[in-house]
Amino acid sequence: MNYYWNWSIFFEPSPYGNLYIFTLLNGLVWTIFTALLAWTLALVVGTLIGVARTTSSRWLRILGTIYVEFFRNIPLLVQMFLWYFVVPEVLPKTLGDAMKQIAPPWGIFIPAFLCLGFYTASRVAEQVRAGIESLPVGQRMAGTALGMKPTQVYRYVLLPASFRIVLPPLTSELLNLIKNTSVAFTIGLMELVGAARSMQEFSFQVFESFAAATSLYLVLNLVVVMATSWLERSVAVPGFMGSSTTSKSKKTGNSTVNEVAP
Amino acid sequence: MNGFDFDVIDRSLGYLFQDGMMFTLKLTLLSATGGLILGTLLALCRLSKIPLLSTVAGTYVNLLRALPLILVIFWFYFLVPYIGAWLTGASRPVSVGGFTSALITFTLFEAAYYCEIMRSGILSVPQSQTAAAKALGLNRVQVLCSVVLPQAFRNMAPVLLTQTIVLFQDTSLVYVLSLTDFLGAAVKVAQRDGRLLEMYVFAAVVYFVICYCASQLVRYLQRRTAVSR
C-alpha cells in the first residue's frame, strides 16, 4: 500500500488555471442547477401525465401509460444518448443543425436537462397518480356535485390534497434526480462526478477527489432532506400515509385541516 | 428515418448479444444473487438489538444510498486494487479485471437497496409468527430461517424482482469503465461504423422489450402468488 496522500491538492491550481477546489464547487453548482431545472420540468410534465392516467378518458389514460412505460423501461444512460446523439438527427434538418451548433456547455446541458426532466416526470407521474387514487372517490363526486368542471375538480380538490400526501415519495424522487444528474457526465456535462473525474485525471489524486465529491453529495443530500422534512411537517395531511404520528399531527391538525377546506 | 441502416444491426448481432448481452446478464444475475444475500444479512444486522451492529449496517446502507452509482463505480474501480493488495499482502496494487471490479461494485451497491427491501419484508411478518415459532421450541436460527425469512421473501418477491430489473438497467453504467456490456458493445459498433442513430435506437428498443416483458411478468406473478389473507 504505497498510495501518496496529498490533501493540500485542493488548493493547488488545475490546468485550467483555477484551484482544484473551485473545479469541484463549480461541479456542485452544475449538479444543483441541472437538478433544479429538471425538477421543475418533471413536476409540470409529471403532474399532467399523472392526471391523464386518472381521467375518465380512455385515450388519455392509454397515452399516460405509454409515456410512463416508455421512460421507465429504457436505462437512463441510453435515454441520455438518445437525447444527445439521436434527437438532433431525427428532428427536421434546420432545427437539428441548430441544436448541434449550440456552444458548450449549453449544447450538452440542454439535452441533459430534457432527458433528466422527462425521465423524472415518468416517476413523478406515478406518484401523482398514486396520490389521486389514494383519495376517497367521494371527493371527486362531491366536487362534481358542487357543479365543478373536471379541470376545477383537479385544480381545487384532487391535486392540492394529493400533492400533500405524496410529498415524502416526491422527496426521494428529488434525491434520485440529484443522483441521476451524474449520468449527464457521460455526455460531457461537468457536474460533480465529472469535476471529480477531471480532477483525478489531472492531479492523479484519486481518493482525495472522490472523497471530496462524496462529502459534497452527502452535504447536498442532508440539506435537501432537512428542507423537505420541514416542508413535509408543515403541510402533512393528518390521518394519511404521509403524515407523522397521530399525536404529532394533532398539534398541527387544526391549521392543516382548515387549509384543505376552501 | 429514410436512411435507417438495418444492415449494421444485422452484421453486429452476434457481437451485441453473444458478447454484450451475455456480459450484462451475467453481471445482473451474479450481482443480484450476491446483493440479495449480503442485503439480507445487512437487514438482519440493522434489525439486530446489538447497537454497534445496527449502527454500522445503517451507516453503510445510508451512505451508499446517498451516492450516485457512477461515483460508486469509480470508487471501487480505483479502490479494489488497493484492497486486493492489502488482503494478499502484496506491495503493489493488484490488477483485477473489469468484470470482477464491476461485479464487486454492483454487489456491494445493490446490497444497500436489497437490504431496505428485506428489512421492510422482515418487519411485515407479524410478531405473532415469531412468538408462535418460539412457543413451538424452535431456536433463533430456526425461527429466522424456517418462519420469518421465507415469509419475508414471499411478501417482498415483486419488489425484489422490480429492483433486479432496475439493476439490469443500471449495469449499462459500466459504460464509464469502457467495458463491453450490451450498451458498450452497441456504442463500440456505433463509433466504428459511424452509425450512432441506428445503434442507439436499437439498444433502446432491446432494453425496452426486455424490461417491459420482465415487468409484465412480475405483475403476473404478483397476481398469481398473492397470499389471500
Our CA-based measurement puts residue A175 at a distance from the nearest CA of chain B, in whole angstroms, of 8
> What is the separation, in whole angstroms, between the first and last Cα of chain B?
53
What is the model's pLDDT at position A241?
52
Instruction: Choose among B71, B82, B207: nearest Cβ to A210.
Output: B71
pLDDT at B70 over 70: yes
Q: Which of residues 185-204 of A touch B (CB under 8 A)?
A: 185-186, 193, 196-197, 200
Do residue B197 and residue A77 have CB atoms under 8 angstroms apart? no
What residues of B are in contact with residue A186 (Cβ under 8 Å)?
A: 70, 175-176
Instruction: Give the tens place of pLDDT for each residue, B74-106.
Output: 999 999 888 888 888 888 888 888 899 999 999
Lowest mean pLDDT among A219-223, B1-5, B37-41, B52-56: B1-5
What is the model's pLDDT at position A252?
37
Distances (CA, A) of A230 to A71, A150, A242, B42, B91: 31, 32, 13, 30, 51
Size of interface A-B (CB pairs under 8 A): 102
| Domains of chain A: residue spans and CATH | 19-215 (1.10.3720.10)
What is the model's pLDDT at position B215?
95
pLDDT at B149 over 60: yes
What residues of A are in contact with residue B208 (Cβ under 8 Å)?
A: 70, 73-74
Q: Decide: B199 and B10 in contact? Cβ < 8 Å.
A: no
A-interface mutation test, from B70, B196, B201, most A Cβ less than 10 A away: B70
Compute the CA torsion angle B159, B160, B162, B166 (nearest 10 deg). 130
What is the model's pLDDT at position A153?
95
Our CA-based measurement puts residue B63 at a distance from the nearest CA of chain A, in whole angstroms, of 8
In this structure, what are the phi and psi dihedrals at residue A19, rounded to the nearest 5 degrees?
Answer: -70, 155
What is the model's pLDDT at position A134?
92
Our CA-based measurement puts residue A152 at a distance from the nearest CA of chain B, in whole angstroms, of 34
Determine how many CB atoms are found less than 10 A away from the CB of residue B203. Answer: 28
Chain B interface includes A181 (CB < 8 A): yes
| Domains of chain B: residue spans and CATH | 21-182 (1.10.3720.10)
Q: What is the predicted ipTM?
A: 0.91
- How large is the average pLDDT for residues B21-48? 96
Chain B residues touching chain A at CB-CB below 8 Å: 1, 63, 66-71, 74-75, 78-79, 82, 85-86, 91-92, 169-170, 172-173, 175-176, 183, 187, 196-197, 200-201, 203-204, 207-208, 211-212, 215
What is the model's pLDDT at position B22?
94
Instruction: Choose among A77, A214, A221: nearest Cβ to B71.
Output: A214
pLDDT at B144 over 60: yes
What is the model's pLDDT at position B228?
60
What is the model's pLDDT at position A242?
46
Do residue B70 and residue A182 have CB atoms under 8 angstroms apart? yes
pLDDT tens digit at each of 262 positions of chain A: 567 888 888 888 888 778 888 889 999 999 999 999 999 999 999 999 999 999 989 999 999 999 999 999 999 999 999 999 999 988 888 888 888 888 878 889 999 999 999 999 999 999 999 999 999 999 999 999 999 999 999 999 999 999 998 998 999 999 999 999 999 999 999 999 999 999 988 888 889 999 999 999 999 999 999 999 899 888 877 766 544 443 333 333 333 333 333 3
